Each structure stands twice: as C-alpha cells, then as structure tokens.
A and B are shown apart, each in its own frame.
Chain A
Amino acid sequence: MTRKQRRLTLIGCALVVLAIAAGLVLNALRDSIVFFSTPSMVAEKHLGPGKRFRLGGLVEQGSLKRGDNLAVTFTVDDGGATLPVAYKGILPDLFREGQGVVAEGALDASGVFRADTVLAKHDETYMPKDVADALKKQGHWKDDYGAKPSASAAPTQGAVR
C-alpha cells in the first residue's frame, strides 16, 4: 500500500467510527432526554400522562403524608400552581417540607405525578438550581430559600477583604 492509501484507510475508519458515534448520540438525544418543569409550566403546557419529566418546586408545608409500606404523597408548589406527587420508597436525607425538591417521573391518568426518583442534594443550604431559576422567573423567589452560609451568617459580614 502506498502512503496515500494508508492514510485514506485511516481516515475512512475514523469517519466510520465517528458516523456511528454521531448516530448513537442523535438517537440517544431523541429518546433519553428529560425536560424540567414546574407545576405552573405543567398546567400551561398540558403535559399528557405517561410523558417523563423532572418536576421541581417547593414541598408545600403540611402536605407530606406517609402511607403504608413507605408510600408517601406530598404537594409541590411553585407559588403559581401546585401538583400532587406520589412516591414509594425512602426519601433522601435532605427532603423537608418548605424546601426545594426535584422529582423525576410522569403524570398518571388522574393528574398525580408518579415519581420514581426524588433527587438528593449534598448540601442542606443548596437549593436545586433549576428550582431557584424557575421561582425567580415567576417572581416567587425569597432570598432566604437558598441563602448561602456566608450571606445568612452575620459574623462573616465583617470579613476583611
């Protein structure tokens, strides 16, 4: 083989692999992407049952109810609308009423959001970014929701800069 042929073989192989990869990526992007919504966005868009999405908002105070065998229901509120959520399993350590939550799942026929995952976040002061952004956009943001430790702690205000 000449040098040119060798180079062409190489480039050919590379193109084949890249084409396969591009196909895989596009296919996967079509099927496995999950959109983020808040309860008001769900109401606006009329999301049908069975379509998977991520629901974000605040867990409404007093809405958490524990049923038999680890079944729980709570309501997610974004200030504009609310949506009931049903979940079966153990809630993450940082799940609390009045705090931000992100759940993944789909609506059922009766309009209840059936979550199969409730996401845990590492830091208890950490508001899920999606939720914070959505709340800000709708004008329901209160600074103390996601207050960072340095902003909420008075003594650090005297920090020497």
Chain B
Amino acid sequence: MIAESGHYALVLALGLALIQSIVPIVGARWRDAALMNVARSTALAQLLFVAASFAALVTLHVTSDFSVANVYENSHSLKPLLYKITGVWGNHEGSMLLWVSILALFGGLVAAFGNNLPLSLRAHVLAVQAWVASAFYLFILITSNPFLRIANPPLEGRDLNPVLQDIGLAVHPPMLYLGYVGFSISFSFAVAALLEGRIDAAWARWVRPWTLMAWIFLTLGIAMGSYWAYYELGWGGWWFWDPVENASLMPWLAGTALLHSALVMEKRNALKVWTVLLSILTFSLSLLGTFLVRSGVLTSVHAFATDPTRGVFILLILFVFIGGSLSLYAWRAPALKQGGLFAPISREGALVLNNLLLTTACATVFIGTLYPLALEVLTGEKISVGAPFFNFTFAPLFVPLLLAVPFGPLLAWKRGDLLGAAQRLMVAGIVALVAMALVLAWTYGGATLAPLAIGLAVFVIMGALCDLAERIALFRIPLSLSLRRARGLPRATWGTAFAHAGLGVALIGIVCETTWNSEYIGAMKPDDVARVAGYQLRLDGLNPRQGPNFREMVAQFTVTRDGEKVSVMTPSKRNFTTRGASTTEAALMTRGASQLYISLGDTSADGAIAVRIYHKPLVLMIWWGPVLMAFGGMLSLSDRRLRVGAPKPAKAARALQAAE
C-alpha cells in the first residue's frame, strides 16, 4: 500500500505542477489576481505531496519491504538504520526523488515567504519553477520509478554498495542537491524577469539571498564530498578532477560569479543583463551536472546509472531548458534597461574582473570535462583529460583572481582609488612576503612554487583582515571605540571577510598537502615498524571482527614519536558478504590541522599485509576553508538588510496602468 500511495502522491504532484505551470501565467496575462494566486497554493500542495511520496520511499526502505524493486536492489535487512535511510538517495531513482523534493521545497519556500514579491513576478517565478518540476516528475514516473513492485518478492535484499555505507553519504548528496536545485530559484527569477521584460535593483535584492543560500549548501556539499572521497576511497586523494566532481564545481564557479554580480546589480543597478545570463547559466550547469551524473555518459567512478533511455530523457530536458531560456534571453534581454555607470577602477570594476576570471575558469573546466565526450562522439577516439590539464589551465586563472580578491572590498563604488587600496594593503603585502621568505628559508632547496603560493594565500587572508581593520579604524582610534565600530559593522562585511579568508585558508591546505605530503607504502608483518614524517608506526597485529552486515580484518598500529606513545590507529578492511565486495576503512589521526592516514591493502600468503601510510601536513585546512566560506555566507545571509523585506519597486502600481 505504501508504495502505491507514494507513487500516487507523485502523480498528484505532477498534476499540481502542470496546473502551476500554466494558470499563473494566464493570470498574469489577464492581470487576474485570483489566477495568479493559484501558484501559491499549488506550490505548497505540491510540496506536501512530494514530501509524502519521499516519506513513503523512506518508510519502505526502513521497513525493508523487498517487494519493491528499489528496496530490494539497494537495501538489506541487516543494514544499520542510518544507512537504510541514507540508502534512499544512494541510488538513481531515490536520488532523483530527493532532487524533485528539494525543488518542491524551494518552490514552497518562495510561495510561503514571497509575500512581499509583486504578484505577477511571484506568479511567473512559481510557474517557471513548475516547468522544471513537471519535466523531472515526468522523468521519474516514466524512466525511473522508485515504487515498482516485484511480482515474487525475494526474502533478502542485495544491499547497498558498501562504499556508500558511510555517514558521508548521509550528508553529501542532500547538501549538493540543495545547492544545485537552489540555483533553480535564481533561474526562475531570471526567466520571470525576461518574460515580464522588467528588472530592477529590488529584483536583485530578492535573488541574492536565494543564490547565497544555494551557494552555501553547494560549498559545504562539495567540501563534504571531497572529505568523504579522502577518507573512504582509501588513497588519500581529495580531488581527482573527475567529471562528476567537475560537474559540481562548474555550478559553484558560476554561482560564485552570480553572487558577486547580483551585488553590483543590487547596489548600483548595473550589470543587469549579465546577471540574468549568469542566473541562467548557473542553473544550466546544475542541470548539466545532473545529466552527467545520472545518464552514465561518463567513464566515471560515480556512474551508477547505465540506462540509455534515461540519458536521452535528461538530455531532452537539458536541451529544452537551456536552449529555451537562452533563446528567450537572446530575444528579450535587449529590452532590459541598462543602468549604472562606473569607471574601470572601482568596486564594480573589481567585481567584473572577478566575474570574468570565474566564468573563464568555469569555461576551462567545462572544456576539460566535455572535450573527451565530444571527441568520442565525433571521431570515436577515446582520450582522458586528467589532473595535469586542469592544473595547467585552472591554476593560472585563479592566481590573478586571488591577487585581486583583497583589493575588491577596499575600492569604492563607482570610482575607486587603486593606489589608496594598495597603501592600505601594505601590511598584508609585507606579512605575505615575510611568510614567503620564512617558508622558502625553512624548505630551502625544495619546491619553489609552493612558498609563492603560501605567500599568496597569506596575502588573501591578511587582505581580508586589513579590510576589517580599516573599517573599524583599528589602532587609529581608541580600542574600545574600534570594538564598538566592529559591532556596528554590517554582518555582510564580516561575511565577505570570512569568505575571502576561507579562500586563503583552503589554498594553504592545498599547497601543503600536495607539496609536503610524505608516504610509506610497503608490506608489513606484525611487530614491523614504519617511519613516516617523524612518527614510528608499529603493527601490533591483525584481528578479525564481525560487523552488522560485514566481516572485517582490523590492523592495530601503535604510533610513537620520539619514544613516546601518541596514539593507537586501527584501519580495517571490510568484506561485505551480500555483494562480495570489500572496502578499505582508513584510520586517521589528527594533530592540529595535519593528519596521519593509514589504509590497508591485501594480505599475502606469508601473513604480511600491504600498508599505505601518509602524513598529510595541514590537510584539514583544505576543508576548513570552504567551511569558513560557508560561514561567511551565512553571516551575510543573516544581515539585517537581507532579512528586512526589500523595498517595493518604484513602479509597483504598474499593474494598474494600461497595457503597453
């Protein structure tokens, strides 16, 4: 019954979405408030039904109802409860249902909290939202229904892919989807603006918090996924430039650009047309990401789905929405009024530079990700574009961006003073040079690029602090007065500083991890000692253990440093009986921001076990950086300016005027 109810709720949600796609638009054309208001109730009802459908699938997984194909293929009665729940989105059908649930959630949020939006704008936004929703409901119902029954129910399920049985999976996909799908709001606003042929600063004020929210989730989602790959896949890598990772990085880059250009639009009423285009591009890249992951076109570690009908369907969705919105843009964008003059050296100018570099970097990732696919389709030749490509293209574009980051907030709107900004950044520059010299002296004869990169990172962090110090006039006026000023600073300013500093923090982590990573790989027998980065690791022994749905071989290592015992580490190798698959559970020991990492390989006939030990200096900073960025985003989101409703647009009474 539950499966059928879930299926039925999903069909009802499709019906509601179809109504929501058409009626509000008609209402807006006829200037009929009642029809336009239909959007609000349908969006909320749609959320209710999708939530019911999702809850039904969760219930089926929790109660291990193996008469449902999706549960049978991805669950097991002995699986821990947490993984029964997370297993819901550990497969294609369930993750698509999560996708539409989040889409409906955002639609519902706009409906619930969009009371201060002009009626016709809200109607248009929710209608566009419903177009996207309808397409994905159809996709799920036609090609990937999670509620299909099996005629002769088996007694036991096939279990979830063991690699996915991890707490990382509980958090990573929902976060990522909240990010991906969150950008649908700015997309809907952009398309609505194009349909209405009208756009103003108030529009940007509504779009920015939504974009910011999506961006925060995407940032955390990517960081989470990266950390998960780091500890779960057992080779200590945290970013592989895998197409699926790129698929999430592209919307992030475009979204970051959008965040900044929306700022210009909100404050200065400039870059309107560009902001609309970026909104469309960002969500298009999110859709592309969904396509790349879900269609299985890629030779990728993430490809769960291999059914071509799904690929064709998503490709169609992609084509209609991206092609349609870009055509609409080409047709209607010239009608949008341009505004806001500014000199090249100004806050606006800096933000344009930011946008230019971010979108170009995004384009290089796009080329690197899709070129192999295009080449294969056109010539049949198979190539792979690996990390070196991205390191050679992406990194050089990020260097000028990072150099420019500290300058941006110090420049005035409209016309800035570059020399003045440089003077105020003097302290940051000096600290960066000192840091560079220290690192260079300490690692004399080693890598030359790394100290430079560290200097750049320090410059970015110090630049963010300089900006704050400048604003509260630190050391120039009495400290108490400075503190009072600090309290009075808008939270968005603190947010900017945190987010920019996070960039520097992440860079330090990346440089340290890649440059001064030390490793030991070898076969060890009990009582053997390995030496890595000043630590001695003694293998005490190997013990078998029984888990809930797996057996594991646990190796115990005693870690000592200078003769003193530091810790005991227990990496293990798990064998999942149902799928006959094994996973490696790495053991991590954290010291400050650095980590010691052990993962196990095979046991040989003579009782020796293959061991891989890494010492990764400051590796945790790679993830602290994004967390700082997200924290900055949250501060900015809590800014009073964004919470207080945006002012009504000047021409709110337009609906009463005669049609043009």
Q: Give chain A's interface residues, CB within 8 Å of chain B.
A: 1, 3, 6, 9-10, 13-14, 17-18, 20-21, 24-25, 27-29, 31-36, 54, 66, 69-70, 89-91, 93-94, 120-124, 126, 128-130, 133, 148-150, 153, 155-156, 158-161
Q: B353 contacts A21, CB within 8 Å?
A: no
Query: Which of chain B's residues have a CB closer than 8 A to the CB of A160?
Result: 148-151
Q: How far is the CA of A25 from the CA of B599 in the complex (A)?
A: 36
Known interface pairs A9-B344, A122-B301. Does A93 touch B582 (Cβ–Cβ under 8 Å)? yes
Task: Point out the residue from B364, B385, B581 that lies within 8 Å of A93, measured CB to CB.
Answer: B581
In chain B, residues 115-142, which have Cβ atoms closer than 8 Å to a Cβ of chain A? none
Q: Which of B9-50 contact A (CB under 8 A)?
A: none
Nearest-neighbor residue (CB-CB) of B233 within chain A: A120
Chain B interfacial positions (CB closer than 8 Å to A): 69, 72-73, 148-154, 158, 161, 163, 233-235, 298-299, 301-304, 306, 341-344, 352-353, 356-357, 360-361, 363-364, 367-368, 371, 381-386, 388-389, 392-393, 396-397, 521-523, 579-584, 599, 601-602, 604, 610, 612
B522 touches A70 (CB 8 A): yes
The residues of B that contact A66 with a CB separation of less than 8 Å are 604
Q: Is the CB of B610 within 8 A of A90?
A: yes
19 examples of A-B residue contacts, CB within 8 angstroms: A1-B343, A3-B341, A9-B344, A13-B353, A21-B361, A24-B364, A28-B368, A29-B385, A33-B385, A91-B602, A120-B235, A123-B161, A123-B304, A129-B299, A133-B382, A153-B158, A156-B72, A159-B148, A161-B148
* Complex interface: chain A residues within 8 A of B234 (CB): 93
User: How far does the alpha carbon of A157 sit from the alpha carbon of B368 in the complex, in Å?
Assistant: 40
Assuming the contacts A34-B383, A70-B523, A156-B72, asked whether A21 and B363 have C-beta atoms less than 8 A apart, the reply is yes
Using A70-B601, A90-B602 as known contacts, say yes or no to A32 and B386 having CB atoms under 8 A apart. yes
Closest to B381 in A: A35
Asked if B360 and A21 make an inter-chain contact with CB atoms under 8 angstroms apart, the answer reads yes
In the complex, what distance in Å separates the CA atom of A36 from the CA atom of B384? 7
* CA A95 to CA B148, docked complex, whole Å: 33
Interface-central residue, A25, A89, A94, by most chain B CB under 10 Å: A25
A29 touches B371 (CB 8 A): yes
Q: Smallest distance from the beta carbon of B84 to chain A beta carbons, Å?
A: 18
Q: Given contacts A153-B158, A158-B150, is CB(A21)–CB(B382) below 8 Å?
A: no
For the A-B complex with A129-B298, A159-B150 known, give 15 more contacts whose Cβ atoms are closer than 8 Å: A13-B344, A25-B393, A28-B388, A34-B384, A36-B382, A70-B601, A90-B599, A122-B163, A122-B301, A126-B303, A129-B303, A149-B158, A150-B69, A156-B72, A158-B151
Q: Are B233 and A90 in contact (CB under 8 A)?
A: no
Cα separation A115 to B567 with both chains bound (whole Å)? 35
Q: Which single residue of chain B is at the shortest CB-CB distance from A161?
A: B148
> Helix, strand, loop or mixed for chain B's interface?
mixed
A153 → chain B closest CB, angstroms: 7
**How distant is A135 from chain B, measured CB to nearest CB, in Å?**
13
Q: Choose one: B150, B582, B610; the contact of A156 (CB below 8 Å).
A: B150
Chain B residue contacts of A155, Cβ below 8 A: 72, 150, 152-154
The residue of chain A having its C-beta at the shortest distance from the C-beta of B583 within the complex is: A93
Q: Which residues of B contact A54 (CB under 8 A)?
A: 384
With the chains together, A128 CA to B506 CA distance in Å? 33
CA distance A21 to B368 in the complex (A): 12
Q: Are A17 and B357 in contact (CB under 8 A)?
A: yes
A70-B610 CB under 8 A given contacts A6-B343, A90-B521, A130-B382:
yes
Residues of B near A14 (CB, < 8 A) are 356
- Decide if A21 touches B364 in the complex (CB within 8 Å): yes
A145 to chain B, nearest CB (A): 13
Q: What's the minimum C-beta distance from B309 to chain A, rounded to whole angstroms?
A: 13
**Cβ–Cβ < 8 Å partners of A10 in chain B:** 344, 352
